[in-house]
A and B are shown apart, each in its own frame.
Chain A
């Protein structure tokens, strides 16, 4: 019999399995939909490992743990260590000042620096460079994590179970399907474009008073545009308005995005607690791993390690909430 059963094979559940295996525990990993895919919100992520940029509107815990994410993911999947770039339209330059005040580990770029760093953004004269940040391809990362687990003898069992159906210690990493107290859904919508003529090598954030946007480059001239953030638990398809806003912002960043092919649009819910910080929440023999909000890839490694240390060694890290 295994030591721990993990229900939910999104980025949180997969990382929990990996962390526990690494410490020698026997684990079972079950998901009602099998391996990761479009059914889970991990599939729709941007894959930025950008703790400092996120720090503009996040609690300190996200910055502190997020800084360790790159090293953790390097054990699993290729990381692009190119930093990230933040720009604003000329009219909104003060948004850039404000973002600079509220974040750390960046340097201000003038037009020359920008042209050197990311030549195709030369229309922009001013920006912030977060040199220590990085990004990954989230779908590749999930596939690679599944493969690593398989090598360690963990296969994802496809079964529709709840914690009540399983004996022993359980990690509930089912996201919105779980009944973790205090959890809410925050809707996000995204677009995937193919624009082979555009060459951006790192994530770019466009600060905009109404329609902030990030663009994450993936291999093959593919770009992920994200993401809306709406206090709604509607899982409906992306609205025309949201897609319009995302595409308009991308067009403002570089008009050549107007010629891009729209490969994909997506919408899903981010599970979040009230302070938007993820938690390990033990309730009897069930340990909830949830609330990753928009920080699934940034926070899953730290959250998984704290769940492991709690279950195997009784250690209570700062993300553990016993209530």
Chain B
């Protein structure tokens, strides 16, 4: 698997830590998911959720703090600095939200914040749309990972723009790409891996399932299936049916 800022993950599953019914269920879901990365939100903890942070630390995963809920580059930069201090990592999942309803990234604020944070030594994971021009500008700014959305955050709609995402993958063949946000079902995650994406990041689909632990396990299996299937050189779809059983030599009745 491709590495993320020099870190090779044990599997391509990044899982969020918000909205679980309880920390005990969160912990069990992580165990079943075997996720390699946990995203954590700093904003609402106000640096004071020590007990909750202790639970995350016990999960044996890489921690990816995020700037969820930030609406300007300045706010996101401040949050990133607080996160680096608290979680002792240069990794930051950069979210700069441009629209309250769709939670669509603000591409201009995102680029501005990415430039500033890279200059400050951060390793930035930008949450972005599937716009390739923006993707290239983020790479130019020094990002070494891109995280295009599947669909709006928390919507569970899956891969909303398959053409756009396929073409995004083709445009950046050597860049680690993570599908971030919008996944609702394990099949969405399998799909993303089959399409050649390097990892998926999700939260709501697991945390808000009726049985988060079971759903975490299902995602783990789907991600594994997608990852293996994607590298097994899948057949090309054909217009014409082709019998899988040989017909030559079959008795005429």
Contact = CB atoms under 8 A, between A and B. Distances in A.
B44 A230 contact: yes
A276 B25 CA distance: 10
Nearest to A230: B44
Contact of A101 (B21, B23, B49, B210): B210
A234 B48 contact: yes
Give the dominant DSSP class at A's interface: loop
Interface in B162-210: 210
A233 B48 contact: yes
Interface string B111-149: 000000000000000000000000000000000000000
Nearest 7 A-B pairs (CB), nearest first? A184-B51, A275-B24, A231-B52, A276-B22, A274-B24, A57-B21, A231-B49
Contacts of B51: 183-185, 233
Given A232-B44, A275-B23, A275-B24, 5 more contacts: A185-B51, A232-B45, A274-B23, A274-B24, A276-B23
A: contact size bracket? 10 to 19
B22 A209 contact: no
B180 to A, nearest CB: 18
12 contacts: A184-B49, A185-B51, A231-B44, A231-B49, A232-B44, A234-B48, A274-B22, A274-B23, A275-B23, A275-B25, A276-B21, A276-B22
B46 A232 contact: yes
Contacts of A183: 51
B22 A233 contact: no
A198 B44 CA distance: 33
Contacts of A132: none
A285 interface: no
Contacts of B23: 184, 274-276
Contacts of B44: 230-232
A193 B27 CA distance: 38
Contacts of B154: 209
B167 to A, nearest CB: 30
A102 interface: yes
B55 interface: yes
B50 interface: yes
A58 interface: yes
Nearest to A210: B154
Contacts of A58: 21
Given A57-B21, A101-B210, A274-B22, A233 B49 contact: yes
Given A101-B210, A209-B154, A274-B55, A232 B48 contact: yes
Interface string A261-303: 0000000000010111000000000000000000000000000
A307 B178 CA distance: 51
A74 B47 CA distance: 42
A159 to B, nearest CB: 28
